[in-house]
């Protein structure tokens, strides 16, 4: 459904951030995109959603295909209309608007009033906490509530593909669990594909079917999530386990850096 | 006492026009974060366009309003498209000076057209006075006062309850986020300029009802800018309240002080108010409450 074909992204005409990234998201699947800070995950998402253009970034090579259409030159609002919604990192809200207004803005690109009403009820069903806060100014919500509201707003565009950027960032473990449960639910019930960028590699690999690992603007490894979970390098560098599968202890930490080989 | 009330009420009438221009400036600032000087000229040209059709060609009042609004809206749209849109992403200071340049250029055109003369609109509102408790109020000013209030209410309702209004408020807060939610921010900018140009035109026509169209008319618009700044730049009610207040201060101040200082109080009152407000509350009197999470 979504194919990135060897894309290259340059910021301000000089900074090469993505150096030939290819990845695919099939319909109705959850795909995880892992990688350290600065690997280019967020840039990849922004390239897909078109937000890159608002920050002097450009796709200079390769193309992005969604449902058979090339979308890399389209504006963000056109891309939303086509069915791709990015839920940005840091949970940005329209802080002066109420919770309900925030949710309504999400449906701005649509005009099917009856369906919008239904979707709104749906959002309140996914996130019952928000129901009681409908008329509260959203700027005062807590981190977890914000994450729910941001995802609810994304859902209102009735997306075929959701790009989630670090939904678990800075949340308590129980809240992370809940958010991930809802992500799975959204994927299952609406058949919405999800491209998930996460630092919490274990959780991401647990709910996704396929995963990509990025480093320095390149995809270095990809495969079935269940397989990647068993990969030695992934275990060492992303899951914090030593070869035997035990928690890593300081005793075993080698004082030289283990070389990654990225063989799948 | 009656004298004071009389002056205050006359001030309210004038103030409602300041408030309208202030509202137009606030509309633009709220969603584009551009402080616009150009609205002073939109006020003047709105009145001039109306005069061309109503006074010049003798077309009936209601029909003359249409081309006057359309032309002013077009002017607003062109300013946005040709002058401000290319500056998106540039410092806001550049945009502010662009509106300053537009003000000066349009001022030149305005003066060139009028050649220093003035144009008087034929009376289009009922004349005469109503007297309530010994305070006399000119009917035409009373009407324009209520038009201003109604317009303000209508704008507030649009902002609060319509989809476009929601888009405008969302855009006001964060352009990028609004885009990611599917709001076409460029369109919103255009709508805003059209809307605010029409508001400015209404203010201009209402002003031309009580004074001639001459080279000082654009400066009524500058008073509108003062109103917007004092009100906090992003608050519609702020613009309304400060606008009315400014009208009262001007009029009452002139009534009491002019005999002492020998005239001219009206012209400086607005600036004195601006000075005091900026000294006491640099971010304006109303404005949005900045949300701090604890």
Q: Does A45 touch chain B (CB under 8 A)?
A: no
The pairing of beta strand B129-132 with beta strand B135-138:
antiparallel
Best residue in A46, A77, A90, A143 to probe B by mutation, most B CBs within 10 Å? A77
Average pLDDT (B259-280) is: 84
Give CA–CA dist A206/A213, Å, rounded.
15
Identify whether A147 is part of a domain. Answer: yes
Question: Would residue A256 count as lying in a domain?
Answer: no
pLDDT digits (tens, 9 = 90+) for B161-220: 999 999 999 988 888 899 999 999 889 999 999 999 999 999 999 888 888 888 878 887
Domain region containing A138: 2-230
Do the chains contact at A108 and B293, CB–CB below 8 Å?
Answer: no
Residue B293 lies in a domain: no
What integer pLDDT is reported at residue A116 of this predicted model? 94
- Range A105-125 average pLDDT: 93
Cβ contact A139–B291 (<8 Å) = yes
A218 within domain boundaries:
yes
Per-chain mean pLDDT for chain B? 87
Residue A159 sits at the chain B interface (C-beta within 8 Å): no
A143/B contact by beta carbon, under 8 A: no
- Per-residue pLDDT, B9: 87
Cα–Cα nearest to A196, from A2, A51, A31: A31
pLDDT digits (tens, 9 = 90+) for B32-58: 888 888 998 999 999 999 998 988 888
What is the number of structural domains in chain B?
1
CB contact under 8 A, B166 and A88: no
What is the domain extent for residue B53?
2-280
Which range (A61-70, B96-105, B266-275) has the least confidence?
A: B266-275
Closest CA in chain B for residue A45: B180
Is B289 a residue whose pLDDT tops 70? no
Q: pLDDT value at position A256?
A: 55
Between CA B3 and CA B134 the distance in angstroms is 10
Whether residue A263 is contained in a domain is answered as no
Is residue A129 within 8 angstroms of chain B, CB to CB?
no
B294 is a domain residue: no
B288 found inside a domain: no
B122 domain residue, yes or no = yes
Cα–Cα nearest to A93, from B165, B180, B26: B180
Inter-chain residue contact A77 with B184, CB threshold 8 Å: yes
The residues in A 77-96 lying below 8 A from B, measured between CB atoms, are 77, 80-81, 85-86, 88, 92-96
pLDDT band at B264 (very low <50, low <70, confident <90, very high): confident
Q: Is the pLDDT of residue A263 over 70?
A: no
Question: Do the domain assignments include residue B292?
Answer: no
pLDDT of B283 reads: 76
| Facing residue for A101 by CB, picked from B166, B185, B288 | B166
Nearest CA in chain A to B185: A77
Flag whether pLDDT at B224 surpasses 70: yes
Confidence of residue A258 (pLDDT cuts 50, 70, 90): low
Give the per-residue SS3 of chain B: CHHHHHHHHHHHHHHHHHHHHHHHHHHHHHHHCCCCCCHHHHHHHHHHHHHHHHHHCCCCHHHHHHHHHHHHHHHHHHHHHHHHHHHCCCCHHHHHHHHHHHHHHHHHHHHHHHCCCCECCCCCCCCCEEEECCEEEEHHHHHHHHHHHHHHHHHHHHHHHCHHHHHHHHHHHCHHHHHHCCCCHHHHHHHHHHHHHHHHHHHHHHHHHHCCECCCHHHHHHHHHHHHHHHCCCCHHHHHHHHHHHHHHHHHHHHHHHHHHCCCHHHHHHHHHHHHHHHHCCCCCCCCCCCCCC
**Cα B228 from Cα B277, distance rounded (Å):** 12
Q: What is the CATH number of the domain that holds A63?
A: 3.40.50.300
Q: What DSSP assignment string belongs to A134-187?
A: TTSBGGG--HHHHHHHHHHHHHTT--SEEEEE-TTTT--HHHHHHHHHHHHHHH
Are A108 and B173 an interchain contact pair (Cβ–Cβ within 8 Å)? no
Please name which of B256, B225, B250, B228 lies closest in space to residue B240, comparing C-alpha atoms.
B228
Residue contact B169–A94, C-beta within 8 A? yes
Is A106 an interface residue toward B (CB < 8 Å)? yes
Residue A29 lies in a domain: yes
Per residue in A232-245, pLDDT (tens digit) is 778 777 776 655 55
Which residues from B are below 8 Å from A54, CB to CB? 175-176, 179
B88 CB near a chain A CB, below 8 Å? Answer: no
- Which residue in B has a C-alpha nearest to residue A78's C-alpha? B182
Q: Is residue A242 part of a domain?
A: no
Query: What's residue B173's pLDDT?
Result: 86
Q: What is the CATH number of the domain that holds B276?
A: 1.10.3470
Least confident of A163-172, A244-253, B39-48, B151-160: A244-253
Q: What is the ipTM of this complex?
A: 0.84
Q: Is residue A246 part of a domain?
A: no
How many structural domains does chain A have?
Answer: 1
Say if B96 falls within a structural domain. yes
Residue B285 lies in a domain: no
Give the β-pairing of A161-165 and A57-66. unpaired
């Amino acid at each position: 459904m979504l194919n990135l074909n060897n894309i290259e992204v340059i910021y301000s005409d000089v900074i090469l951030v993505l150096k030939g990234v290819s990845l695919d998201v099939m319909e109705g699947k959850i795909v995880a995109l892992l990688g350290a800070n600065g690997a280019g995950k967020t840039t990849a998402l922004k390239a897909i959603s078109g937000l890159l253009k608002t920050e002097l970034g450009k796709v200079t090579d390769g193309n992005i295909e969604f449902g058979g259409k090339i979308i890399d030159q389209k504006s963000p609002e056109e891309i939303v209309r086509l069915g791709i919604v990015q839920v940005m990192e840091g949970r940005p809200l329209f802080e002066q608007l109420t919770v309900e207004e925030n949710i309504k803005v999400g449906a701005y690109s649509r005009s099917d009033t009856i369906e919008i009403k239904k979707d709104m009820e749906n959002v309140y069903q996914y996130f019952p906490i928000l129901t009681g806060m409908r008329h509260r100014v959203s700027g005062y919500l807590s981190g977890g509530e914000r994450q729910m509201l941001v995802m609810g707003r994304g859902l209102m565009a009735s997306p075929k593909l959701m790009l989630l950027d670090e939904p678990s960032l800075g949340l308590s473990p129980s809240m992370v669990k809940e958010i991930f449960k809802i992500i799975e639910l959204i994927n299952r019930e609406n058949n919405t594909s999800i491209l998930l960028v996460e630092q919490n590699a274990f959780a991401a690999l647990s709910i996704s079917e396929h995963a990509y690992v990025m480093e320095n603007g390149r995809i270095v490894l990809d495969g079935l999530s269940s397989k990647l979970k068993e990969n030695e390098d992934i275990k060492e560098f992303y899951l914090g386990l030593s070869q035997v599968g035990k928690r890593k202890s300081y005793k075993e930490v080698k004082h030289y850096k283990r070389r990654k080989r990225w063989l799948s | 006492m009656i004298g004071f009330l009389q002056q205050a009420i006359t001030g309210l009438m004038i103030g409602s026009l300041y408030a309208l221009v202030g509202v137009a400036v606030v509309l633009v600032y709220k969603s584009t974060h551009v402080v616009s000087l150009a609205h002073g000229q939109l006020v003047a040209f709105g009145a001039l366009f109306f005069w061309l059709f109503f006074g010049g060609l003798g077309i009936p009042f209601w029909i003359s309003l249409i081309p006057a609004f359309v032309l002013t809206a077009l002017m607003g749209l062109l300013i946005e498209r040709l002058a401000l849109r290319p500056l998106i992403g540039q410092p806001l200071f550049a945009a502010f000076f662009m509106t300053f340049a537009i003000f000066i250029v349009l001022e030149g055109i305005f003066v060139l057209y009028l050649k220093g003369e003035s144009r008087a609109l034929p009376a289009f509102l009922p004349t005469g006075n109503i007297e309530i408790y010994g305070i006399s109020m000119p009917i035409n000013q009373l009407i324009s006062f209520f038009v201003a209030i109604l317009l303000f209410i209508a704008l507030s309702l649009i902002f609060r309850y319509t989809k476009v209004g929601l888009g405008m408020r969302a855009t006001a807060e964060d352009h990028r986020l609004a885009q990611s939610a599917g709001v076409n921010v460029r369109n919103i900018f255009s709508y805003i300029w059209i809307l605010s140009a029409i508001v400015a035109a209404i203010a201009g026509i209402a002003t031309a009802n009580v004074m001639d169209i001459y080279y000082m008319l654009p400066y009524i618009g500058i008073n509108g800018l003062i109103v917007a700044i004092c009100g906090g730049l992003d608050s519609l009610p702020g613009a309304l309240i400060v606008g009315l207040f400014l009208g009262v201060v001007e009029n009452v101040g002139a009534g009491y002080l002019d005999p002492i200082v020998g005239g001219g109080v009206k012209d400086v009152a607005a600036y004195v108010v601006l000075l005091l407000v900026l000294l006491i509350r640099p971010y304006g009197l109303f404005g949005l409450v900045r949300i701090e999470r604890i």
